[in-house]
């Protein structure tokens, strides 16, 4: 059974596991397009043919930023939590294990 997450609008859904590499990046871009294509702060080739097919634009508070999807997942994968989890799990101090919720302790890709 996959874990479920609830976003800030109380919508519950199963998170997607993207994997790594170009195939996963392309899947992520398609998912962005499906979810955000009509959002005022998102553009991609699907809504703006001046962009390359592998690009998308997010409008941040400081302005629009253009991203290229190639390597996006690998570059934006925050490994700090995983490293912290490994450190806590390897500690001889059992009290530190209590700092991690049980689902995260059991999760192999978190």
pTM passes above 0.85: no
Secondary structure class of 49 (helix, strand, coil): coil
By CB atoms closer than 10 A (0-12, 13-18, 19+), residue 55 is: middle
pLDDT tens, per residue, the chain with 110 residues: 334 444 445 555 555 555 555 668 889 999 999 999 999 999 999 999 999 999 999 999 989 999 999 888 888 776 767 777 788 888 888 887 777 777 766 676 66
Distance between CA atoms of 75 and 61, rounded to whole angstroms? Answer: 22
DSSP state at residue 69: -
């Amino acid at each position: 059974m996959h874990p479920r997450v609830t976003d800030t609008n109380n919508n519950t859904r199963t998170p997607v596991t993207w994997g790594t590499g170009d195939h996963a990046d392309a899947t992520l871009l398609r998912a962005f397009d499906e979810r955000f294509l009509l959002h005022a702060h998102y553009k991609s080739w699907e809504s703006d043919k001046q962009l390359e097919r592998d690009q998308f634009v997010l409008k941040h508070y400081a302005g629009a930023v253009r991203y290229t999807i190639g390597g996006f997942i690998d570059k934006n994968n925050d490994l700090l939590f995983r490293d912290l989890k490994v450190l806590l799990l390897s500690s001889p101090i059992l009290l530190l294990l209590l700092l991690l919720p049980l689902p995260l302790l059991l999760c192999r890709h978190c």
